[in-house]
Amino acid sequence: MYHHVKKLMYTVNVETPDVRFGNMLLEQFGGANGELAAAMQYTIQGWNCVDDLARRDLLLDIGTEELSHLEVVGALIRLHLKDLKTNREAAEADPLVTIAGGGGVALLNSRGNPWTADYLKITGELDVDLRSNIAAEARAKIVYERLIDHTDDPGTIDTLQFLMTREITHMKAFAAALESIEKPPFSIGRLAPTPVLVDEYFNGSTGDGDEGETDMRGPWSKAYGMHVVESQLTGGAGLSIGKVRGLAGQEERGKQDSTPTTTTAPAREELIGVEGR
Ligand code: MN
Ligand code: MN
């Protein structure tokens, strides 16, 4: 059951309306990282979350707050767009909202594209959904930050600062909810990944670039048990364990033909050994 309270979650003041900025704000109303998307994503995830009533409550708490954010953003946009109805020059900043929408807020992004459920990430797997939500909050935060960069209106900045702050609060809550599941971080779903292959970091971009880029290494190629595989694997379409084995065999043949080959990683040698037996 939903209940509406005739108050905004945060008081909205605009001293100097700016229709072009109001148009930009639509990104957080009907855009991909906007408040409606957040409200729908968390609420629908919550309705589907029947096996974990505690985290279902979290999803519904935050989903409901996002709907209140939508109302706040909508109020802020309407204050910025108020000149659209009467001022021709202002109307030209957003003809779609002026002519089709009568100057009110609509479920469009800043370029007039309609909101779509395709924005939502809902997998029905709680830990996977929580990761999507953490990322969604991070995106919403950065969009608010960019909006703040493009206005000087103190009241507008104040409201956007509030909304931006709440996204970090939500990020904390989703992160805590994910951590408290105490699932190993790479244990996703039921099926185990293929051993050996799962630890191979393919060095798929090689050579020296025009801007001085070289072959770089970092924790991404060696953390969590991974190692670099210098690869000739990039020529084919798609990789399967069968393809990996086949190409490993080609590397061996390459050596016999004294064709230059890349270093074969230890794990691959093991794989070839298994094949040979
Ligand atoms: Mn929000
Ligand atoms: Mn949020």
Query: Ligand 2 centre from 253 Cα, in Å?
Result: 55
Contact 116/31 with Cβ under 8 angstroms? no
For 216: left if phi > 0, alpha if psi spans -120 to 50, otherwise beta; the answer is beta
Query: Ligand 2 centre from 52 Cα, in Å?
Result: 21
Separation of alpha carbons 88 and 84, rounded Å: 7
pLDDT string in tens for the chain (277-residue length)? 999 999 999 999 999 999 999 999 999 999 999 999 999 999 999 999 999 999 999 999 999 999 999 999 999 999 999 998 888 888 888 888 888 888 889 999 999 999 999 999 999 999 999 999 999 999 999 999 999 999 999 999 999 999 999 999 999 999 999 999 999 999 999 999 999 999 999 998 888 888 888 888 899 999 999 999 986 645 444 455 455 554 444 444 434 333 333 444 444 444 433 333 3
Helix (H) or strand (E) holding 89: helix 88-91
Query: Ligand 1 centre from 162 Cα, in Å?
Result: 10
pTM greater than the 0.95 cutoff? no
Query: Ligand 2 centre from 16 Cα, in Å?
Result: 27
Query: Ligand 2 centre from 166 Cα, in Å?
Result: 6
DSSP letter for each residue of 173-205: HHHHHHHTT---TT--SSSPPPTTGGGEEEE-S
Query: Ligand 2 centre from 194 Cα, in Å?
Result: 36
Separation of alpha carbons 67 and 58, rounded Å: 14
- CA 22 vs. chain centroid, Å, equals 24
Contact 94/78 with Cβ under 8 angstroms? no
Q: Which ligand is nearest to the CA of 36?
A: 1
Domains of the chain as residue ranges with CATH: 19-181 (1.20.1260.10), 197-207+214-272 (no CATH)
Looking at the chain, the number of H-run helices and the number of E-run strands are 10, 2
Query: Ligand 1 centre from 108 Cα, in Å?
Result: 17
Contact 235/247 with Cβ under 8 angstroms? no
